[in-house]
Copies of this chain bind each other. A is one copy, B any other.
Amino acid sequence: MASTSSTPPTIPITVMKFGGTSVADCDRIQRCAERVARTRRAGHGVVVVVSAMGHATDELITLAERITPAPSKREMDMLMSTGEQVSVALMAMALHTHGVDAVSLTGGQMGIRTTDSHRSARIRSIVADRIRQEIAAGRVVVAAGFQGIAENGDITTLGRGGSDTTAVALAAALDVPRTGGVCEIYTDVDGVYTADPRLVPNARKVPRISYEEMLELAAQGAGVMHTRAVMFGEKYNVPIHVRHSLRPDEGTMIREESTAMEDAPVVGAALKADLGRVSLRRIPNEIGVQGTIFEAIARANIMVDDIVQTEFGDLANISFTVEHSDLADVKIVAGKVLEQLGTGELAVEIGLAKVSAVGAGMKSHTGVASTMFTALGAARIPIQNITTSEIKISCIVPKEHGNRALQVVHDAFGLGTDGNGGIGTVGRSEAGAVGR
């Protein structure tokens, strides 16, 4: 992503993003506007990014479905982008009632140029001249999240997590870090937790977490922020403050790794439930065989979790985990691959879960893996598989032990309110609602 550069702004610029539940009706829009007005009065330049109002998106989808079961993606983008356009106009009006000079802008008007893959476009560049002008003129910019324009001027949408991505991308394009500002993501949860508080009662909100840890936690099953937005933040070093839209409390700051953060080997624990494991056994141990298998699976749009390969002479076993819901499709695809290879056996296990411990501090700490395995063993939870990366350790366990395994790992690293440190995984007080 290229950002237009210019003279450094003289005031901190803060990007404030409000999701669909935060702007679900006119009263809530007014409450968000109050919050924006306070930030503006504190002397910040402000860009407010908003999503479509609560159920506006669903209503638009229903309209399209009444016309056709298979609407064109281009026309869906034309339709869906009106949701954010309504929100930004209303938010600008609400800011005016608070005496704040504000102007709403569509994706096109703020120069968000994307690829032309409708419904899942990627941001190519932001030509932020108009936004800079408005901020320089003392106006709050109310930016439509989730949308941009393709090279031919067609309206595009960014797909899942789109509005979060818009917010972080705008913060990057506006050099927000250099101005001393921050990208605030207002949502319906308090922040990032050491583990999902619905599963782990003593889970703790963490004040800081690194991009890398946040990404790994999200990959291991934690929610709150969309991975795509965090990756943008990491790439452009934009500090992201995840906080509750109705509470004044500080949430969690996602930012670069610091020395202080490395003191704790593990920042959080996460759980993926309802996994299945597919094993292709006794297949030829030849160059290219892995490519054949996973290309076929990717073509079927199946997301594969951890992959493990073991070999013995001319033969190999390859096993990988997938979501339960993908198992039926995987069996068909894997069966065809074995036919193609002319040899091998297919085995499928169901009822698995994966518990993970994540922390950048692992890089410089020893004994993290043994602490985890020992704790699970002491709790008499069988470990069926182990995978690791530089900053995470995952264990496949039987599904019925999943929740308990999460609690055990969480407490083994002292992550809880009764523990003595560590920062951790992501909790959500409510399902859904975050994302677009």
Contacts and interface: CB of A to CB of B under 8 A. Distances in A.
Contacts of A155: 106
B86 A104 contact: no
Interface string A71-97: 110111011011001101110111011
Contacts of A96: 68, 71-72, 75
A64 B97 CA distance: 12
Given A26-B66, A67-B29, A67-B97, A75 B60 contact: no
B75 A93 contact: yes
A68 B86 contact: no
Contacts of A180: none
B78 A64 contact: no
Interface string A21-51: 0000010011000000000000000000000
A66 B53 CA distance: 14
A26 B76 CA distance: 15
Given A108-B108, A153-B109, A64 B82 contact: no
Nearest to A103: B74
Contacts of A72: 92-93, 96
Contact of A97 (B68, B89, B93): B68
A137 to B, nearest CB: 12
B26 A67 contact: yes
A4 to B, nearest CB: 16
A393 to B, nearest CB: 48
Contacts of A30: 67
A86 B74 contact: no
A78 B103 CA distance: 10
Given A85-B85, A109-B153, A90 B104 contact: no
A235 interface: no
A69 to B, nearest CB: 9
Nearest to A96: B72
A193 to B, nearest CB: 35
Given A67-B30, A153-B109, A75 B97 contact: no
A288 to B, nearest CB: 42
Given A26-B63, A66-B26, A108-B108, A71 B93 contact: yes
A82 B78 contact: no
Contacts of A94: 67-68
A281 B154 CA distance: 62
A198 interface: no
A81 B29 CA distance: 20
For A29, A89, A130, which residue has the most chain B Cβ atoms within 10 angstroms? A89
Nearest to A82: B82
Interface in A345-364: none
Contact of A78 (B68, B71, B81, B89): B89
Interface of A: 26, 29-30, 60, 63-64, 66-68, 71-72, 74-76, 78-79, 81-82, 85-86, 88-90, 92-94, 96-97, 103-104, 106, 108-109, 130, 153-155
23 contacts: A60-B86, A64-B90, A64-B93, A67-B97, A68-B93, A68-B94, A71-B93, A71-B96, A72-B93, A72-B96, A74-B103, A75-B89, A76-B89, A78-B85, A78-B88, A78-B89, A78-B92, A78-B104, A79-B86, A79-B89, A82-B85, A82-B86, A109-B154
Given A64-B90, A82-B85, A108-B108, 16 more contacts: A26-B66, A60-B86, A64-B89, A67-B93, A67-B97, A68-B93, A71-B93, A71-B96, A72-B96, A78-B89, A78-B104, A81-B85, A82-B82, A106-B155, A109-B153, A109-B154
